[in-house]
Amino acid sequence: MPRSIWTGAISFGLVTVPVKLYSAVNRKTVRFHQLSSKSGVRIAQKRVDPQSGEEVPYEEIVKGYELSPDRYVVIEPGELETLQPKKTKTIEIEDFVELAEIDPIYYDHPYYLAPGAGGAKPYRLLLEAMDQSGKVAIARVVIRSKEALVAIRPMGGEVLEMATMLFADEVLPAERLEELPDAKEVKTTKREIEVAMQLIGSLAGEFEPEKYRDSYREEVLALIERKAEGKEIAVQPEAEEVPEPAPDLMSALKASLEAVRKHDGREGAKPRKAAKKAPAKKAAAKASAGKASGRKPPAKPAKKAAAKKAGSKRAAAKR
């Protein structure tokens, strides 16, 4: 049974929804400790004054904001406490917006919101109303003495998901990148775009998160397991990569598209286009038309050879 990391209430208008906050992710990062290579003992980190070489007790440490190298403004703990946001235990909804209007770059950390004591009915009401309206709530909340901007949205009609967000001034504009090409200077042809879109279409499919795995983490864990069992690990030298000349864009696109077709077992397949029905044969078309109108299709004319035989038989009978 997971433990909630925060309890409070969602507030919008005069409605209050008691909720509990749970983390929605479990990071699988492999963490290592620092050990002494001689003794194998874990290293202890100490706060040391570099001038005196003596360890500084925690109660003697203050916060300093660096203005320039080796120049700091000292801030006392009491001064920061007067500026800390008021702990209201409330998620204050300020706006409802369209989900498509929020660029994913603003999302930070996801959480689940579950109903608190006595909050099942208002929780379900808010969940269904947001689900049917297609809106996302933008709110503010104070967690661990820090105010956060959050987005709340319904997930699958079953639970409310809350994601902490970055503020606008925390997102760096893409315009600061000097390497971005100017659309006026770099031109692409219609044919290049068509082939690129065919390549995208050949790789298109439904998003299945289970099929994407962290192969590096799995290899590291396998290495740890083998070493824990006492197996010797032979480190192989890395093969030197010889840089190849870059092919022209169109050739690279066509080669990529052909490689995808071969991988899918469709070597002879043509680029994906809107499906077109092959023209039916004339006889089949006439037959289907006859069935639809209730008339039988006209019989095929007899072959000349058969007609001649029938004529000769009738002449023999007259004689």
Predicted confidence (pLDDT) per residue in 86-130, tens digit: 777 899 999 999 999 999 999 999 999 999 999 999 999 999 999
Tell me, yes or no, whether 61 lies in a domain.
no
| Burial class for 162, CB neighbours closer than 10 Å (0-12, 13-18, 19+) | buried
Q: For position 244, what pLDDT does the model report?
A: 66
For residues 94 and 153, state if they share a domain.
yes
Q: For position 237, what pLDDT does the model report?
A: 67
Tell me, yes or no, whether 62 lies in a domain.
no
Tell me, yes or no, whether 113 lies in a domain.
yes
Q: Which residue has the higher pLDDT, 144 or 128?
A: 128
For residues 155 and 15, state if they share a domain.
yes
Model confidence pLDDT, tens digit, residues 240-285: 776 666 667 777 777 787 887 777 764 444 444 444 444 444 444 4
Least confident stretch, 82-86, 186-190, 287-291: 287-291
Q: For position 239, what pLDDT does the model report?
A: 65
Q: Which residue has the higher pLDDT, 235 or 316?
A: 235
Tell me, yes or no, whether 118 lies in a domain.
yes
DSSP-derived secondary structure letter, 104: G
Q: Is the pLDDT of residue 297 over 60?
A: no
What type of residue is 63? K
Q: Which residue has the higher pLDDT, 238 or 74?
A: 74
Tell me, yes or no, whether 129 lies in a domain.
yes
For residues 188 and 93, state if they share a domain.
no
For residues 129 and 190, state if they share a domain.
no
For residues 131 and 258, state if they share a domain.
no
Query: Residue 181 is encoded by which pair of tokens?
Result: 């090409």
Q: Which residue has the higher pLDDT, 86 or 302?
A: 86
Tell me, yes or no, whether 305 lies in a domain.
no
Q: For position 235, what pLDDT does the model report?
A: 64
Q: Is the pLDDT of residue 137 over 90?
A: yes
Note whether 260 and 201 are within 8 A (CB): no
Q: For position 69, what pLDDT does the model report?
A: 92
Contacts of 255 (CB under 8 A, 6+ apart): 247
Q: For position 57, what pLDDT does the model report?
A: 93
Tell me, yes or no, whether 143 lies in a domain.
yes
For residues 192 and 159, state if they share a domain.
no
For residues 13 and 134, state if they share a domain.
yes
> How many whole angstroms separate alpha carbon 113 and alpha carbon 19?
6
Model confidence pLDDT, tens digit, residues 205-247: 898 989 989 999 999 999 989 888 887 666 656 667 766 666 6
For residues 16 and 130, state if they share a domain.
yes
Q: How confident is the model at residue 149 (pLDDT cuts 50, 70, 90)?
A: very high
Model confidence pLDDT, tens digit, residues 23-60: 999 988 899 999 888 888 899 889 999 999 999 998 88
> How many whole angstroms separate alpha carbon 287 and alpha carbon 172?
67
Q: For position 275, what pLDDT does the model report?
A: 42
Per DSSP, helices labelled H in the chain are 77-81, 120-133, 190-203, 215-228, 249-263, 282-293, 304-318
Contacts of 61 (CB under 8 A, 6+ apart): 47
Tell me, yes or no, whether 261 lies in a domain.
yes
For residues 16 and 150, state if they share a domain.
yes
Q: Is the pLDDT of residue 163 over 60?
A: yes
Q: For position 19, what pLDDT does the model report?
A: 97
The domain that holds 92 is classified in CATH as 2.40.290.10
For residues 78-114, b (16+ Cβ closer than 10 Å) or e, as one string?
eeeeeeeeeeeebbebeebeeeeebeeebeeeebbbb
**Residues spanned by the domain of 258:** 184-200+254-268
Q: Which residue has the higher pLDDT, 291 or 144?
A: 144
Q: How many domains does the chain fold into?
A: 2
